[in-house]
Structure 1
Amino acid sequence: MATSQVQTVSSAADKAKLTLAGLLVVAALAGFYFLGKQGPLVQWGSLAGGLAAACVVFFLSETGRQLIAFSRDAWREVGKVVWPTRKETMQMTAYVFALVVLMAAFLWFTDKTLEWVLYDLILGWRK
């Protein structure tokens, strides 16, 4: 069973790390656009380098560590899922298609019956 802890207070150093990560993202985007005349290699290199630096700073913060812990827990939970076999999947898909066809036939029959009752019997529009 996973335990969740809500933490609303973060330290000034953690806030500074998150701010620095945000500024690095902005700097990477600015570098990408301002270095357009230097060639695509420099342009994309500055973007990749800035984003990589922002990721490193983010993952060194408490929020980044919590994200990593959450990802590990989520991956562990995905491993516990019992996935259906191919046969079970095909059977359930066939059931769904059969139900859709059955409901379509029922709705068509109901529509045509109501059309006949209203227009032919009650209103007499189709004679």
Structure 2
Amino acid sequence: MASTQVETVTPGADKVRLGLAVLLVIGALVAFYMLAKQGPVAQWVSLIAGLVLAAIVFLTSESGKRLIAFGRDSWREVQKVVWPTRKEALQTTAFVFVFAVVMALFLWFTDKTLEWVLYDLVLGWRQ
């Protein structure tokens, strides 16, 4: 029985887009530091413009398109979530806090009981 494997081959143009996006990010950072004498406005404009161009180039690549599709699918899933009402959220939060206090008291009582049994009854250190 032969198994079929599907391999995703990234075309050369896609690799060029990703490389160009990386170069644009590097160029934006270099421009930011090279334009220090021109003032902060020129620095930030060059940085933001370079990063926006890099993002546009990345989003036109296959990886970018998959990222956009993932974001759309994630948004659809978030819209399917049934969020609790304010009353339900407050009740659940109160329950968690009460449970934490009860558990803390139980563990404290257990600790003190074991301490009394071991140190007073078994070892006799506190007599």
Number of residue pairs matched by the alignment: 122
Q: Measure the CA separation in 2 of the matches of 1:45 and 1:106.
A: 60
Q: Report the CA distance shift for 1:63/1:34 in structure 2 as closer, same or farther (over 3 A).
A: same
Partner of 1:25: 25
Q: Provide the secondary structure at the position in 2 that maps to 1:10.
A: coil
Give the drift of 1:95: 1.1
Please tell me whether residue 38 in structure 1 is matched to residue 34 in structure 2.
no
Give the drift of 1:106: 0.6
Give the drift of 1:38: 1.1
Give the drift of 1:66: 1.1
**Misfit runs of 4+, over 3 Å:** none
Partner of 1:3: none
Q: Tell me the TM-score normalized by structure 2.
A: 0.92
Q: Provide the secondary structure at the position in 2 that maps to 1:126.
A: coil
Give the drift of 1:60: 1.0
Give the drift of 1:15: 0.5
Give the partner amino acid of 1:52: V
Partner of 1:77: 77
Give the drift of 1:94: 1.2
RMSD between superposed Cα atoms in Å: 1.2
Q: Measure the CA separation in 2 of the matches of 1:63 and 1:7.
A: 15
Give the partner amino acid of 2:95: Y
Q: Measure the CA separation in 1 of the matches of 2:12 and 2:114.
A: 70
After TM superposition, the structure 1 = structure 2 runs for residues 1-127 of structure 1, keeping only pairs within 5 Å, are 8-127=8-127
Q: Provide the secondary structure at the position in 1 that maps to 2:20.
A: helix
Q: Which runs of 5+ in 2 are unaligned?
A: 1-5
Give the drift of 1:7: 6.1
- C-alpha distance after superposition, 1:48-70 (max 9, x if no partner): 11101101111111111111111
Q: Tell me the TM-score normalized by structure 1.
A: 0.92
Q: Report the CA distance shift for 1:87/1:18 in structure 2 as closer, same or farther (over 3 A).
A: same
Q: Percent identity?
A: 66
- C-alpha distance after superposition, 1:24-76 (max 9, x if no partner): 00000010011111111111111011101101111111111111111111101
Q: Measure the CA separation in 1 of the matches of 2:123 and 2:54.
A: 73
